A and B are shown apart, each in its own frame.
Chain A
Amino acid sequence: MVPELGHFALIIALGLSAVLFVLPLWGAYTANTTLMYSGRSLATGQFIMVSIALACLGYAFLHDDFSVSYIAGHSNSLMPVYYKISAIWGGHEGSLLLWMFMLSGWTFAIAMLSRSLPLDMQARVLAVMGFVATGFALFILLTSNPFDRILPMAPLEGSDLNPLLQDPGLIFHPPLLYMGYVGFSTVFAFAIAALLTGKLDTAWARWSRPWATTAWAFLTLGLALGSWWAYYELGWGGWWFWDPVENAAFMPWLVGTALIHSLAVTEKRGLFKSWTILLAIFAFSLSLLGTFLVRSGVLNSIHAFANDPDRGLFVLGFLGVVVGGSLLLFALRAPVVKSRPGFNLFSREALLLANNILLMISMLTVLFGTLFPLIADAMKLGKYSVGAPYFNLTFTPFITMVCLLMGIAPFSRWKRSSGDSIRRNIKAPIIISLSAAALVPLLLGKYTTIAVAVSFVGVWVLSTTWTDLLVKSSHKAGFSKGLKQHSLSYWGMIIAHTGIAFTVLGVGYTTQYSDEQKVRMSIGQPVVVAEREFTLESLDKVRGPNYIADEARVVMRKNGRVIREFKPQKRRYLASGQIMTEVAIAPGFLRDIYIAVGEAENISPNTRPMRIHYNAFVRWIWLGALLMAVGGMLAVIDKRYRKRVRTADEKSPANATAISGAQ
């Protein structure tokens, strides 16, 4: 009964989305206020209906209703409650419902938080959101209904959630990632609404900025969590594989990064309007492209869902309509700027544009590598696979340039800045970065070109960012006074850029200073890896709720002293018989020790092959991402967005002053 209720709620949500697409838009064209106002209530109704659908699916999961085909395929009565909940998005159908839930949530948020927008603008934005929601609701109901029943032969037991997904990381990774993916639909809707009206003013950019930045921050967290999950759950010791689906999530991030900076220029200077609109369209289009690649099975990937050509066809059709339609609209309506207002080579506009272009080029290299196997196959050029060497080779130079420019841009000013003042400010950072490049590899014990380059680039970003803070904090009444004058969005930039520095250093150092040893360990016989002594103490059988495992107990000693005990496992999940490597990790700020048990061999019951990794600085990668997300959120909660809202409502004229000039 409950699944039918969910199904029914979803059908109503589809109806509401379709009406949300039509009515407010019609109202905007005929200047009918009532119709335009209908957007808010429709958005609310849609959100409520999708929430009911999601809750119904959750209820059915909790009650082990295996007559629902999706639940029979993704759950099991032995599974702990929290995995039964996260199993809602553990497969294709349910994760689409989560996607739909996020989309209706963002739509609802726009309806609630954008009351200060001109009514026709708000109506158009909500209508675009309604269009996207209609497409996804249709997709779920026509090709991927999570509420389908297996009747009358309902199974008594579910076939279990893929063990890889029975992990805390999976509880949070998809929701965060989808928040980011779907979040770009808001900026997309703003862009389309602006193209429809032709009102591409700075106000448009100001409304879009918090939405773009929020989506970007969520996507950053989602990517970081995915990478972290792959690191400890896949048991390969790697944190990024340039897998097509990882790329599919990374490309919107690159474009989103360009977008949030380009929006700043459009808001502050009224420039690059067409470029910003294009980025907004791209960011969301790439999210949709990611959906297509993952759900259609056109590419080989560890993430690929069950392949189904019908689903692929539907998403492709939808992709064609959304991307083709919006780019056509863009080509017809985007403003063509004939004479640009002056800005010189060192102006902030020029530097931001340069970085924007570099980010787009990096995105295109990733896009090319991701799509090449598919395109070559479609054009009958042969079978290819594009691996990490291609991506590392093509991506790294551009992103290095991005980092180098990133250090200079904060010192620059809008319109024109003199080369002199920039030169003055970068003197100290150059010295610091050069010394770091010379000394840090020495301290870390190995001198390589990459280590030197990475030290320079990472420390360059770090030192320029903090020099900028020092310079901008100089104040008559002292430094602490100066610190207080900064806006939250300025702090957001400082923290996010610091995050970039951490990630760059982490990525670079972990490739240079990590060690991996494959060893055959026998009980009582120590092996030495990275100056540490590891001894296998025992091999035991342990039982979990829905698996049995071989557990190895390994003790790590340094200079004869016991530092830590590890308990890596090889698990066999009972329902599926699938075997999983559960690694044991000793995390640390500067290094991780990571142990994975290998397959049992028939040599001796007291011997087991193991992999022991020494992963240097690997935590910095995710710490950096966390800082970026925090920085983004700080910029979002900056009062100036809300202050403008209130002055627009003329509720508190006193706030009209003190709009911070930073950023």
Chain B
Amino acid sequence: MGRLKLFLPLLIVLILLPLFYVGLSIDPTAMPSALVGNPVPEYSLPLVANEQHSASHKDLTGQVSLLNVWATWCFACKAEHPYLNSLSEEGINIVGVNYKDDRKAAQKWLRELHDPYLYSLYDQDGKLGLELGVTGAPETYLVDKQGIVRYRHIGVVNERVWQDTLEPLYSQYNQVGQ
């Protein structure tokens, strides 16, 4: 019995190791969202470019698009921005959600860094962000032609994220209903 007790630490480690192994293949930043499979929350918000114009959730239907949450105060958004530019040049639809930001700063940002968005919603008080369940900028939602959220990515979208996850989904939902 005394000898058996000494095997206990080994046993615990043998249980932990396979769990670590499984953990290796999981991306800790991947976050399920309650929204996945559900329609985008209803909204009607003014645009960053012009406060006289506004857009609503209905404008998202009819095409697959990326809903990208960004802000000028967010460092990572700056890192992400050039890649969004190249995606928009490839003809990917990206709709911006300018989250808790200053309109002038946001306009200046888009002027200086180039504007990859079809349009950017001006979510000054973060209401849309709240309903989306944004944990922090940048965050990107893949929305299908019916306006249903299909995927959520937390963090920077870069070439790897696009190639591995977003692009396959984007083309998959693009083919639906064609």
Mark A residues whose CB is within 8 Å of B. 274, 278, 281-282, 285, 292, 296-300, 309, 312-313, 316, 319-320, 323-324, 327-328, 330-331, 334, 336, 338, 371, 373-375, 377-379, 383, 577-579, 599, 601-602
Within 8 A of A (CB), among B6-34: 6-7, 9-10, 13-14, 16-17, 19-26, 28-29, 31-32
Chain B residue nearest in CB terms to A580: B75
Chain A residue nearest in CB terms to B21: A316
Q: Which of B3, B6, B25 contacts A309 (CB 8 A)?
A: B25
A292-B20, A298-B20, A375-B19 are contacts. A330–B9 as well, Cβ < 8 Å?
yes
Enumerate 10 A-B pairs (CB-CB under 8 Å) in ascending A order. Answer: A298-B26, A319-B17, A324-B10, A331-B6, A331-B9, A374-B20, A375-B19, A377-B26, A378-B19, A378-B23
Closest 8 CB pairs of A and B: A378-B22, A327-B10, A336-B2, A331-B7, A331-B6, A378-B19, A298-B23, A374-B23
Mark B residues whose CB is within 8 Å of A. 2-3, 6-7, 9-10, 13-14, 16-17, 19-26, 28-29, 31-32, 73, 75, 78, 102, 104-105
The reply to whether B9 and A327 contact each other, CB–CB distance below 8 Å, is yes
The secondary structure that dominates the B interface is helix
The reply to whether B28 and A338 contact each other, CB–CB distance below 8 Å, is no
The reply to whether B10 and A601 contact each other, CB–CB distance below 8 Å, is no
The secondary structure that dominates the A interface is helix
Distance of B41 from chain A, by nearest CB (Å): 21
A298-B24, A375-B16 are known; give 20 further A-B pairs, CB within 8 A. Answer: A285-B13, A297-B28, A313-B24, A316-B17, A323-B13, A327-B9, A328-B10, A331-B7, A331-B9, A336-B6, A371-B16, A375-B23, A377-B23, A377-B26, A378-B23, A378-B26, A578-B75, A599-B73, A601-B102, A602-B102
The reply to whether A324 and B13 contact each other, CB–CB distance below 8 Å, is yes
Interface-central residue, A300, A319, A371, A378, by most chain B CB under 10 Å: A378
Distance of B69 from chain A, by nearest CB (Å): 18
Distance of A609 from chain B, by nearest CB (Å): 11
Distance of A405 from chain B, by nearest CB (Å): 24
Chain A residue nearest in CB terms to B1: A336
Distance of A255 from chain B, by nearest CB (Å): 12
The reply to whether A296 and B28 contact each other, CB–CB distance below 8 Å, is no
Q: Cα distance A49–B102 when bound, in Å?
A: 57
Chain B residue nearest in CB terms to A382: B32
Distance of A360 from chain B, by nearest CB (Å): 11
Q: Cα distance A574–B23 when bound, in Å?
A: 37
Interface-central residue, B2, B9, B14, B75, by most chain A CB under 10 Å: B9
A331-B7, A602-B104 are contacts. A324–B78 as well, Cβ < 8 Å?
no
Q: Cα distance A298–B78 when bound, in Å?
A: 25
Distance of B59 from chain A, by nearest CB (Å): 28
The reply to whether A300 and B3 contact each other, CB–CB distance below 8 Å, is no
The reply to whether A377 and B28 contact each other, CB–CB distance below 8 Å, is yes
Distance of A139 from chain B, by nearest CB (Å): 15
Chain B residue nearest in CB terms to A371: B16
Chain A residues near B32 (CB-CB < 8 A): 383
Chain B residues near A278 (CB-CB < 8 A): 9
Chain B residues near A320 (CB-CB < 8 A): 17
The reply to whether B19 and A374 contact each other, CB–CB distance below 8 Å, is yes
The reply to whether A309 and B24 contact each other, CB–CB distance below 8 Å, is yes
Interface-central residue, B10, B13, B28, by most chain A CB under 10 Å: B28
Distance of A222 from chain B, by nearest CB (Å): 25
Q: Cα distance A323–B15 when bound, in Å?
A: 12
Q: Cα distance A312–B32 when bound, in Å?
A: 24
Chain B residue nearest in CB terms to A274: B6
Chain A residues near B14 (CB-CB < 8 A): 324
Distance of B85 from chain A, by nearest CB (Å): 15
Q: Cα distance A599–B73 when bound, in Å?
A: 7
Distance of A42 from chain B, by nearest CB (Å): 30
Distance of B29 from chain A, by nearest CB (Å): 6
Distance of A439 from chain B, by nearest CB (Å): 45
Q: Cα distance A602–B109 when bound, in Å?
A: 12
Q: Which of A300, A338, A383, A579 contacts B75 (CB 8 A)?
A: A579
Chain A residues near B102 (CB-CB < 8 A): 601-602
Q: Cα distance A319–B104 when bound, in Å?
A: 53
Q: Cα distance A268–B32 when bound, in Å?
A: 56
Q: Cα distance A274–B3 when bound, in Å?
A: 11
Q: Cα distance A377–B14 when bound, in Å?
A: 18
